[in-house]
Amino acid sequence: MADLNKLSIAAARDRLRKGDVTSVELTQACLSEIDGAGVLNAFVHKTPEIALDMAKAADARIQAGDAPDMCGIPLGIKDLFCTKGVASQAGSAILDGFKPEYESTVSQNLWDAGAVMLGKLNMDEFAMGSSNETSTYGDVVNPWKIDDRNLTPGGSSGGSASAVAADLCLAATGTDTGGSIRQPAAFTGITGIKPTYGRCSRWGVVAFASSLDQAGPMTKSVRDAAIMLEAMCGHDAKDSTSIDLAVPNFEAMLTGDIKGKTIGIPKEYHMDGMPDEIEKLWADGTAMLKDAGAEIRDISLPHTKYALPAYYVIAPAEASSNLARYDGVRYGHRATLAAGDGINDMYEKTRAEGFGDEVQRRVMIGTYVLSAGFYDAYYNRARRVRNLIKRDFETVFADGIDAILTPATPSSAFGLGEMTDADPVQMYLNDVFTVTVNLAGLPGISVPAGLDAQGLPLGLQLIGRPWEEGDLLNFAHVLEDRLGFVAKPTKWW
Residues whose CB is less than 8 angstroms from the CB of residue 215 and which lie 6 or more positions away in sequence, other chains included: 81, 106, 173, 174, 175, 176, 195, 200, 201, 202, 205, 232
Residue 228's closest CA among 242, 236, 216?
216
Number of neighbours of residue 451 by Cβ within 10 angstroms? 17
Sign of CA dihedral 394, 395, 398, 400: negative
Contact 432, 482 (CB under 8 A): no
| Coil/strand/helix, residue 297 | strand
User: Which amino acid, residue 23?
Assistant: S
**In angstroms, rounded to a whole number, what is the distance separating the alpha carbons of residues 134 and 144?**
20
Ramachandran angles phi, psi of 76, nearest 5°: -100, 145
**In angstroms, rounded to a whole number, what is the distance separating the alpha carbons of residues 297 and 111?**
42
Helices (H) and strands (E) in the chain, counts: 15, 11
The number of CA neighbours under 13 Å toward the Cβ of 200 is 31
Residues whose CB is less than 8 angstroms from the CB of residue 167 and which lie 6 or more positions away in sequence, other chains included: 5, 6, 33
Residues with a catalytic annotation lie at 78, 156, 180
Residue 303's closest CA among 202, 211, 395?
395
**In angstroms, rounded to a whole number, what is the distance separating the alpha carbons of residues 267 and 282?**
12
Residues whose CB is less than 8 angstroms from the CB of residue 442 and which lie 6 or more positions away in sequence, other chains included: 196, 197, 393, 463, 464, 465, 466
Torsion over CA of 329, 334, 335 and 336, rounded to 10 degrees? 90
